[in-house]
Amino acid sequence: MFPKPQPVLAPNTYAYESEPMVKPTGFREYDARWLFGTEINLMGIQALGMGLGVLIAELGQRQEIVTGHDFRSYSASIKYALISGLLASGCKVHDIGLCMTPMAYFAQFELDVPCVAMVTASHNDNGWTGVKMGANRPLTFGPDEMSRLKEIVLNAKFKNKPGGSYQFHENFPARYIADLTKGHRLKRRLKVVVACGNGTAGAFAPQVMQAIGCEVVPLDTELDYTFPKYNPNPEDMEMLHAIRDAVLQHRADVGFGFDGDGDRCGVVDNTGEEIFADKVGVMLARDMSAITPNAQFVVDVKSTGLFATDPVLQQQGAKTAYWKTGHSYMKRRTHELGALAGFEKSGHFFFNAPLGRGYDDGLISAIAICEMLDRAPDKSMADLKNALPKTWSSPTMSPHCPDEAKYGIVERVVKHFEDMQNDGEKVAGQKIRDLVTVNGVRVTVQDGSWGLVRASSNKPELVVVVESPVSEERMRDMFEAMDSVLRGHPEVGEYNQKI
């Protein structure tokens, strides 16, 4: 028997050391995230491992799983608590140690293991922990699996049994790096800034970029789990501005920024200007569709409208489908459609063959960008960016909103804009041309300007993005229109950043 998890326990008490604590809201749409110590304890993590073992068996997979952990002061402890739960449930555990998330995905293929449980808080601030899980490579869990896992864990529906075993795979990163760099050698000598925010990718990214022929300028690549400079998140302007300064100082061809667990890549061009990941996706789609006839791409609803309107993509016969934001949703849709690649505005890119195996890997993204530059030897990164039709785009902006309230608020915001469309009312001075409600609401008006509001899948936040093909002023008009609706909900707090 194992105690039923409690939603709240007070630290520094007997109960906290004797019972599992698991806050229910930590089970997100496609992975799990908690504040360690206040929302989950080590026994709670152990319960998660036991529950995951049950779910794997229910899904009809053999109980064999890869696990690894990111570089946080507490991640190893959490991983071993998770492993103890997996072992109790009868799983054979393959531990690859300290690693990036895509290294764990790679290990599923390299070791022929069906399941994965990667201990990572990704780009979240220190204090957060979580687990990215899957039982059908290269896919990760979606809402159905996460809902069932939540039910198993919170109700202590464990089925522990003997037969679990543990194997540590020594020096596994070398196998990952060899696979990643095989067959990739640039003709063009590129100087690249490699920025890691002192996160996990710092142990691996510089040597990967050197191995394909780049001259590497390392920036905050020393591992330091206090993150002394800034959080390793290539969507945050603080990290992008640090990359900009390094690119200009060293006259680099491009700057790459990797998030805390290495599955995302941010980009700064040779002039020091950040290129939001959706625009990078358009550039890559142009490059890839030029050499692959009838290329199919998938992009998330936060992404630029250029995927649908770019004349070069149209001329090259490329087709693009918009889909739900979230690495699991995008990974699954890219897989289902057999798309050449999927691009998410957050920087999660999903490459199928020949470049990848369908999962998100920030280093594969960086290699793809370098090879795009290699195929355009007379063009700079800024040249390729400036060749795109001009639009004015915001970064991803996230106002605080409690997990318990955010989905209900988004439902009411969707209803608000649906009513406006039905009544012929104007948004930012123009009638609504189109509403996409596959994930929150994306409101497009007559001149092509659009705004998005959705609930964050992994933090107590909403997500707001706006873009205009007309002017910066129209982009700001759309932001005011979206924000004015949110301001009608007192639960919506301050933004992490604004235009």
Q: Which residues are catalytic?
A: 122
Instruction: Give the DSSP per-residue string, 151-167.
Output: HHHHTT-----S--EEE
CA-closest candidate to residue 67, choices 43, 27, 97, 88: 97
What burial letters (b/e) apply to 217-228, b meaning 16+ CB within 10 Å?
bbbbbeeebebe
Residue pair 223/203 in contact (Cβ under 8 Å)? The answer is yes
- Is the C-alpha dihedral spanning 445, 448, 454, 459 positive or negative? negative
The 10 Å Cβ neighbour count of residue 473 is: 10
The H-or-E segment that residue 186 falls in is: none
* Interhelix angle 472-486/403-422, nearest 10 degrees: 120
Max intra-chain CA distance, the chain: 67
Separation between Cα atoms, residue 305 and residue 493, nearest integer Å = 28
Burial of 337 (0-12, 13-18, 19+ CB in 10 A): middle
Residues contacting residue 484 through CB under 8 Å, at least 6 positions apart: none
- How do strand 450-455 and strand 462-468 relate by DSSP bridges? antiparallel
